Structure 1
Amino acid sequence: MTEDTRVEGTGVEGTRVEDARAPLDRDKLFTARLHAARARPYLATALFALHVVESRRVPTMAVDRHWRCYVSPPFVDRTPVEELAAVWVHEVSHLLRDHHGRSDRVARERGLTGPGERLRMNIAADCEINDDAYGEGLVRPSGAVSPETLKLPEGWLMEEYLRAFSLRLDTQDLAWLDCGSGADGLEREWDLGPDGAHGLSEQERDAVRFRVAQGIDGRPGHAPERWRRWAEEAFHPPQPWRELLGAAVRSAASGAGAGEDYSYGRPSRRSAGVPGVVLPSLRRRPPRVSVIIDTSGSVSDAELGSALLEVAAISRAVGGRRDLVTVLPCDAAARIVHPLCRGEGIPLMGGGGTDLRTGFARALRAQHRPDVVVVLTDGQTPWPASRPPCRTVVGLFPRRRARSWREDDPDHVPDSPPDWARVVDIG
């Protein structure tokens, strides 16, 4: 189906009969898109990535999750160019902020079904967009929903607005809203679907988002705070770091050699081939984990508290055997090794410089050598020159930029964690 594709349907209520079958005024529509790109230059890549499909089934303009924009010809005829430009920005914002994917997740988590709940999601998504979308070259379209419309505060996310209101008599006038499946995830009858023409692939959609984020990051003073936060997440998407940390520890603990030792408790089956000789069998035991916590002056009290929470998560990741997990506070010198069974009273002493190599050395000299070493740090430390004889997982506290720990060399940049360590960013 080409750009000139037209999906026949019913006309818009209130439109004159002689205009109901008039073709889409593409010159006016694309003039409005150019105006939108000039007003919001950081959104230009996304605006021009949308493929227009003429449709008489949509009330105004709508998008699907494949970056097609369905446009009603009567709506374009009766709407000024300035308002059309604002609608362009509104619709593409739904896609950039992944409102369709987020709506699907919310629907699964909260058990929300039916078109009424999807309408609430559309309204909540509109509130997230419209609280800071207009002004500075864009006029507010007539009938645009804002948090003020629902008597709610500005600055919330779609998920928060969705919890804060329900469909009532005072919201019945909003039933006409329909920004399409790109806004609430519910496929419409006019959608061309994943196999239709001119949809963007998942890789192309990600590329568009990345280019928009680059534009915002390159000129941060030209975008509202909400868009700047969106761009930061596009470059550094939030990760389920606790699950990643647990998975990294479990992976290290289940690796070859970890938690394995020879035992005469059950003779090896190969003993039958050597009469008179009892051969030990290789038995798997729960892995021992040593957690080195960076307690240097560059780590905040809040991060130290977070580190103790991670220790509890690490214990769960290896089956809950707290007696096999030890905690070692370390700044420039290794402190006392604490068994996790006393986790509630572990003193995180330190506050000086940072050299976690002493922590590695102390952990590996323990009576029972660990199978896995987990390091919780901000990364501002020298690392062992050689790979330790056990698996290593590094949990990094977030830092915008590396800061020196050397007073005599303020330009010094600390080394990144070595390649032999599995690194997980802690949120």
Structure 2
Amino acid sequence: MAGPSAPDLDRTKLLAARFRAASQRPYLASALYSLSVVPSTAVPTMGVDRYWRCYVSPAFVDATPVEELAGVWIHEVAHLLRDHHGRADRLAPELRRDRLRVNIAQDCEINDDLLADGLPLPAGRVTPAAYDLPPGRLFEEYLPDVPATGGHDCGSGAHGEPSPWDLGAADGTAARVTETEAEAIRRHTAEAMRAHHRNRGDLPAGWRRWAEQVLEPAVDWRRVLAGAVREALSWASGAADYTYRRPSRRGPALRGVVLPSLRRPLPRVAIVIDTSGSMGEEALAAALAEVTGVLREVGVRGDRVTVLSVDADVQAASRVTSADQVELRGGGGTDMRVGIRRALDVPHPPGVVIVLTDGFTPWPDEPAACRLIAVLIGADAPEPPSWAETIRVPRP
């Protein structure tokens, strides 16, 4: 049974717990009081849907102390503030298939922050430590390493899939929050957190990172890098040429004359990789995987991709079809000029050169005779020349 008619809910106790949570963490007050209560005997404990409706088991309220109920209120509203359902919608289908597994990963993201904040939570609440995972990660990072089955169901406001007690979008028996209103609540909460931390200095690290992301959203470097590579490839492949290998379709109209056709060949690509000692392997590998993934998608592979490992000199040059084939050598000084020069000094030079570096390197004095994308690893990487297209990749 689900809905407001569910019997015997101790509202006084439940709302006292919410008041306690809002009083002790005032920066969450607006979000907590945006939740509408829906008593339900179908929900095991408490859960939320996409519309900020909080489903509550009367039996769970009876069995749980007020201080723990306050922690559960914060846990459930954290799913909505962190837009877990929206992020779950963007997962690959094979990862989204097991909603309870997704929920476990999301609970890991939340609960380690709540416990670090000194909040008591009911027994059985999952944490990263229960799976030998490090704290402070996002649920997308935890998901591959959590169990494939089991776990608590926090509702569609968490994993994104309708739960048995979910009233759905059309139901008007309980108040609902629109996505536009939800975004306003998130921003207001983030601003309250920033003010609290400025005045008190005791905002938990997890919430501090979340507030910074909401107020100053980081650019998705993967999307920007993929877009830059695709655009550069499109530009380079626009250099059409004539060929007689495939006669023009207009040829039959002119007897005795063989007309060439236009062709747009796939461009050649050179990836120049900084393998000096200052480079971080994880960020470098992530950027390289993104680049090679885009090249594979658009059909640029095989002998059209050359990878050069460079520190102060070119240590290795090879044609590759995947990131796994790349041979990284080096570890000394840094001079990307020699790698760029080597990449262009071939009978069939590339139309696009992609340089993966931490930026602490000399650059050519003049623009390269092709499209050049500088992928800078690390927030402190200095600016390359203005003629280079720049993508910044944060270190993990």
Distance in 2 of aligned mates of 1:214 and 1:382: 41
1:51 aligned partner: 35
The reply on whether 1:186 has 2:162 as its aligned counterpart is yes
Gap runs ≥5 in structure 2: none
Name the counterpart of 2:232. Answer: 252
**Residue of structure 1 aligned with 2:182, choices 184, 196, 205:** 205
Amino acid at match of 1:338: A
Superposed counterparts of 1:46-125, under 5 Å: 46-48=31-33, 50-55=34-39, 61-70=46-55, 82-101=67-86, 108-109=93-94, 118=100
Q: CA deviation at 1:260?
A: 3.2
TM-score, normalising length: structure 1: 0.64
Residue 352 of structure 1 corresponds to 333
Q: Indicate how the Cα distance of structure 1 residues 318 and 182 shifts in structure 2: closer, same or farther if over 3 A, else same.
A: closer
Corresponding residue of 1:409? none
CA distance in 1, matches of 2:180, 2:361: 37
Structure 2 vs 1, CA of residues 251 and 164 (structure 1 numbering), >3 Å: closer, same or farther?
A: same
CA spacing shift, 1:424–1:319, aligned 2, 3 Å:
farther
Match of 1:9 among 5, 9, 13: 5
Structure with bigger gyration radius = 1
Deviation at 1:92, TM superposition (A): 0.8
Letter in 2 for 1:425: V
Bigger mean CA offset, 318-327 vs 207-216: 207-216
Q: Structure 1 residues 238 and 64 mapped into 2: Cα distance closer, same or farther (>3 Å)?
A: farther
Structure 1 residues 91, 345: CA separation in 2 closer, same or farther (over 3 Å shift)?
A: closer
With over 3 angstroms needed to count, the CA separation of the structure-2 counterparts of 1:424 and 1:231, relative to structure 1, is same
Post-superposition offset of 1:321: 3.8
Instruction: Report the more deviating stretch, 83-92 or 178-187.
Output: 178-187
- Aligned-residue RMSD, C-alpha: 5.0
The alignment status of 1:40 with 2:25, answered yes or no, reads yes
Name the SS for the 1:293 alignment partner. Answer: strand
- Separation in structure 2 between the aligned mates of residue 268 and residue 330 of structure 1, nearest angstrom: 44
CA distance in 2, matches of 1:365, 1:290: 11
How many residues end up aligned between the 2 structures?
379
Match of 1:411 in 2: none
C-alpha distance in 1 between matches for 2:255 and 2:130: 86
Task: Quote how far apart the aligned CAs of 1:159 are.
Answer: 3.5
2:357 aligned with 1:377: yes
Q: How is 1:153-232 mapped onto 2 (pairs within 5 angstroms)? A: 159=143, 162-163=146-147, 166=150, 179-184=154-159, 185-189=161-165, 191-193=167-169, 199-209=176-186, 212=189, 219=197, 222-227=202-207
1:55 CA drift (Å) = 3.6
Q: Normalised by the size of structure 2, how large is the TM-score?
A: 0.68
Q: How far apart are 1:131 and its partner, in Å?
A: 4.8
* Aligned AA (2:391): V
Taking the aligned partners of 2:334 and 2:367, their CA distance within structure 1 comes to 23
* Paired residues for 1:147-158 under 5 Å: 147=126
| SS of structure 2 residue aligned to 1:338 | strand
SS in 2 for 1:86: helix
Whole-Å separation in 2 of the counterparts to 1:160 and 1:345: 25
Unmatched segments (≥5 aa) in structure 1: 1-5, 168-176, 403-413
Q: Which amino acid counterpart does residue 6 of structure 2 have in structure 1?
A: T
**What is the distance in 2 between the residues matched to 1:56 and 1:311?**
49
Change (3 A) 1:329 1:162: closer
| Deviation sequence 1:365-423 (CA, Å, 0-9, x none) | 543232222121223456667765533333332x2334xxxxxxxxxxx3267476263
1:146 aligned onto 2:87 = no
The Cα shift of 1:89 comes to 0.9
Given residue 81 of structure 2, which amino acid in structure 1 is its aligned partner? L
- Between the aligned partners of 2:247 and 2:119, the Cα distance in structure 1 is 80
Residue aligning to 1:391: 371
Answer yes or no: is 1:322 the counterpart of 2:302: yes
CA deviation after TM superposition for structure 1 residue 289, in Å: 0.9
CA distance in 1, matches of 2:64, 2:192: 29
2:268 and 2:66 map into 1 onto residues whose CA distance is: 67
CA distance in 2, matches of 1:37, 1:423: 41
* Structure-2 separation of matches of 1:151 and 1:298: 35
Instruction: State the SS of the aligned residue for 1:262.
Output: strand
Partner letter of residue 394 of structure 1?
Answer: A
- In structure 2, the CA distance between the partners of 1:251 and 1:233, relative to structure 1 (3 Å rule), is same
Partners of 1:51 and 1:68 within 8 A in 2: yes
CA distance in 2, matches of 1:161, 1:305: 20
How far is the alpha carbon of 1:231 from its aligned partner? 5.5
Aligned-partner SS, 2:273 = strand
Distance 1:384 1:155 in 2: 42
The Cα of 1:291 is off from its aligned counterpart by: 1.7
Q: Which amino acid aligns with 2:157?
A: G
Q: CA deviation at 1:294?
A: 2.6
Three-state SS of the structure 1 residue aligned to 2:270 is strand
Contact 1:326/1:337 (CA < 8 Å) preserved in 2?
Answer: no
